[in-house]
Chains A and B, each alone.
Chain A
Amino acid sequence: MSRGSFTSVARAVAWRSIHSFFTNPAIIIPSALFPLFFFTAFAGGLSRVDSVPGFDFDSGYTAFVYGFVLLQASAFGGVFAGFAIARDFESGFSRRLLLAAPRRSGIVTGYWLAALARALFTVGLITVVALVAGMDIAAGGLDLVGLYTLALLVNAATMLFGCGVAMRLRTMQAGPAMQVPVFLLLFLAPVWVPYDLLTGWVKTAATVNPITLVLEADRGFIAGDPVKVLAAFAVAAGLAALMVLWARGGLRSAEQAA
């Protein structure tokens, strides 16, 4: 009879995912390169945009873009963790996990810990590159804590979302079902310009998009001028909490199928 505890299960699952990530160039390189690439392309290609009348952000365009790319990397880091779970289901490995682990919630926690480790790696890399590129960051210590905590909450929310999808569909075909909603949430927000400079239906979408609040709080932290902090944390934490329920439902679905 297995004596595995919640912690031991979570640790085992996390270790496997983390090990797989850091030892597999085919996984680690795109995970590192994509966010870096977007950062470079937006910050380099669009920097003149901060000269548009009404562009109100004192820390410069590089820092402005950094705020978005940080969230993008965190969010997609969570989605890629969902891909890994779907892959495990398709290969049959998850079935073994479900049968072997006495505390199955530990499995989800383990995947989440791995997603966290991946996010920390990617975020660290982007931050280093942004600083080397001369990003002007006016954030104080507390601002930085707020900034990265928000990013990690977003990472948790998307990871749990992806987990729920992967556990329900149990196939790599679930990829678009994880990617597209996250993509839309991220891009229907003030990505390249502040909210006030958006026009048309995109502005309307950004108005109702909860990620807009998170992104604006993000940029506020970077500029050392926190804005909408409570609302942003409420949104991020609320999404994460909702996704916990979603992931648990997915786990139940997977258990029934195992």
Chain B
Amino acid sequence: MPPRASLRFAFLSLVLAGGIAPVAQADTVTVFAAASTRNALEEIAAAYEANTGDEVVMSFAGSSSLARQIEAGAPADIFLSANPGWMDELEDKSLIVPETRNDLLTNSIVLVAHDAQAPKVEIGAGLDLSAMLAGGHLSMAMVDSVPAGLYGKAALTSLGLWDSVEPQVAQAANVRAALAYVATGEAPLGIVYATDAVAEPGVAVVGTFPADSHPPIVYPVALLAAAQGATAADFLTFLQGPEARAAFERQGFGVTGD
């Protein structure tokens, strides 16, 4: 096909497609979200698309990678971060709309076991983790960089357990990989988000870390300064509505604010 003809063909197909679609001007929202929110967000996006006919495009990765991509000019409209630090960084660089920022979700960290029959324990200063591990490894996300690992290390440190258990910690690249070590039985115990434990049938929760043993785990969300059109703001509102709240809660998140 000569170039002119192919152009005409492309234009014609666009016109036809527009004519057939029920909504003449379907809009697209691009959401960058922390990997741990995937299951809930996919459900919410499907509901939103069915309601409005608009399209929600989502990219899931570690909050640090996503924040760096946004700094580098990635065309996103909304950012949902698993860690306030990265949102602070974007706010400092005026990349978000500050008045739209709010702490959408909370999470907790739990001790999970491979053995479904493992007895429940009270997590506190008296917990004998080394005995529970019986020479095996404690699976965690990287304790100096990945948020789930940072929270876990903070909790173990504040409970006075870190020094005794440190040599037995196996650090995975991210929290889902840490979960996989427990699910496959390679590590008898692991520390992951409560939401990850919900998503993985191969592990059993044996205890929840007290909320005051680590910094609060909050997920801030905000509209990005580069966002265009009213649809992005509309989806942000939807994320805070009752339908989204139910979906988040089903995945084990706490939803803040009322």
- The answer to whether A binds B is no
A residues apposed to B, CB below 8 Å: none
